[in-house]
């Protein structure tokens, strides 16, 4: 009873700022325009909670996972411990969440790659991936096409011309990830000869490969791109239909004749199969409460991310829509990794 009272006290503490901030969030670009309904479950964890991240430390999923874990510890009165479980393009973490007890004490950070793309690229794993229960969304990030120091290109046209005269390489955080598929789209629409894909474990390592000159280009998540905005690497374009307010002087790839699709990513939380609706609703409420906290919003903004509000039901619909969009892209690329 005492734990539950503390939980409700924290929710009341955030209630006024939630009402104010939900109004403001509508002005932020890239946020999903979904009606938000806040669940009313009284469940709270009684032990520390595991939050698995399917990539190595330093990438976008790891960053948002640690921001969320810190916020949820204050809201739920229990530690949220981040565990990095990289490998197999995120499928190792997917296997672990599938095998975990549905006791409300284990969750996973998911994204476009792990929740959507992998269901098409690894058909034998689709049932396990789709068995995970959507909980709530967290944030969105944009994507920037960047090239290494010394590569003699300053725009997409120059990159396309260079690729026709010499073999170029690009990094990503794994076969079939959004950074990989984004480059495939670029090659198709710009009629660029096939470049050599060099996958790494995690976005942080993929970015380091570009910084070290091990590869020629990388479709970098916005947090990594912004961190090296003034560095030796060159940003060629923003991979979305409109310019980013975080980097307004950077033209889009679409402006330069590149892919018309938004190559940005998003992050959410999923739970093991058969986790009870009461637990899902409670944790969804925790996450949405965190996203109404100015400290959480500041942490996301500092990492070049924007909040993405969707509860468990809305997130399930959003993922279904993403599968429709990206399933066609993968079919066109004739890509199967099994």
Q: Where are the domains of the chain?
A: 2-141+265-333, 143-256
Whole-angstrom Cα distance, residue 204 to residue 185?
A: 23
* 4 confidence band (pLDDT: 50, 70, 90): very low
Checking if the pLDDT of 39 tops 60, the result is no
pLDDT score of 40? 65
Checking if the pLDDT of 32 tops 80, the result is no
Share of the chain above pLDDT 70, in %: 88
Query: CA torsion, points 64, 70, 74, 79, in degrees to nearest 10?
Result: 120
Whole-angstrom Cα distance, residue 275 to residue 268?
A: 16
* 170 confidence band (pLDDT: 50, 70, 90): very high
Whole-angstrom Cα distance, residue 84 to residue 82?
A: 7
- Answer yes or no: same fold for 2-141+265-333 and 143-256: yes
Q: Are strands 265-271 and 106-111 parallel, antiparallel or unpaired?
A: antiparallel
pLDDT score of 56? 86
pLDDT score of 120? 96
Checking if the pLDDT of 142 tops 50, the result is yes
Task: Give the DSSP per-residue string, 226-257.
Answer: HHTTTSSSEEEEESSSS--TTSTTSPBTGGGT
Q: How far is CA 105 from CA 71, 80, 97, 136, 311, in A?
A: 16, 9, 11, 16, 19
| Over residues 41-64, mean pLDDT | 91
* CATH number, domain 143-256, options 3.40.190.10, 3.40.640.10, 3.30.360.10, 2.30.33.40: 3.40.190.10
pTM: 0.76
| Over residues 276-302, mean pLDDT | 96
Output the average pLDDT for the chain.
87
* 262 confidence band (pLDDT: 50, 70, 90): confident
Q: Looking at the domain that runs over 2-141+265-333, which CATH code has it been given?
A: 3.40.190.150
Q: Phi and psi dihedrals of 307, rounded to 5?
A: -65, 150
Q: Which residues of 133-172 are buried (b: 16+ CB within 10 A; e: fewer)?
A: bbbbbbbbbbbbbbbbeebebeebeebbebbeeeebbbbb
DSSP helix/strand/coil, 282: helix
């Amino acid at each position: 009873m005492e734990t539950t009272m503390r939980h409700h006290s924290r929710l009341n503490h955030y209630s006024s700022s939630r009402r104010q901030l939900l109004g403001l969030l509508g002005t932020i670009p890239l946020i999903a325009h979904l009606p938000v309904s806040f669940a009313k479950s009284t469940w709270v964890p009684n032990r520390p909670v595991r939050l698995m991240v399917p990539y190595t430390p330093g990438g976008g999923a790891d960053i948002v996972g640690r921001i969320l874990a810190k916020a949820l510890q204050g809201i739920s009165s229990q530690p949220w411990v981040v565990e990095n479980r990289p490998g197999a393009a995120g499928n190792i973490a997917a296997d672990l969440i599938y095998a975990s007890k549905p006791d409300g004490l284990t969750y996973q950070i998911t994204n476009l790659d792990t929740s959507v793309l992998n269901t098409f690229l690894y058909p034998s794993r689709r049932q396990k991936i789709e068995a995970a229960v959507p909980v709530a969304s967290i944030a969105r990030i944009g994507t920037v096409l960047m090239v290494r120091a010394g590569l003699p290109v300053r725009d997409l046209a120059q990159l396309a011309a260079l690729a026709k005269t010499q073999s170029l390489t690009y990094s990503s955080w794994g076969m079939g990830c959004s950074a990989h598929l984004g480059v495939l789209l670029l090659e198709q629409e710009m009629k660029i000869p096939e470049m050599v894909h060099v996958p790494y474990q995690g976005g942080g390592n993929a970015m380091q490969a570009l910084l070290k000159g091990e590869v020629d280009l990388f479709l970098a998540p916005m947090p990594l791109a912004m961190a090296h905005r003034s560095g030796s690497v060159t940003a060629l374009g923003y991979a979305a239909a409109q310019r980013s307010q975080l980097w307004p002087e950077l033209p889009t790839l679409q402006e330069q004749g590149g892919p018309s699709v938004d190559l940005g990513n998003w992050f959410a939380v999923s739970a093991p199969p058969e986790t009870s609706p009461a637990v899902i609703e409670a944790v969804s409420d925790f996450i949405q409460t965190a996203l109404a906290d100015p400290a959480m919003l500041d942490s996301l903004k500092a990492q070049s991310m924007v909040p993405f509000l969707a509860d468990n039901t809305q997130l399930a619909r959003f993922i279904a829509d993403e599968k429709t969009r990206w399933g066609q892209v993968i079919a066109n690329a004739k890509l199967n990794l099994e």
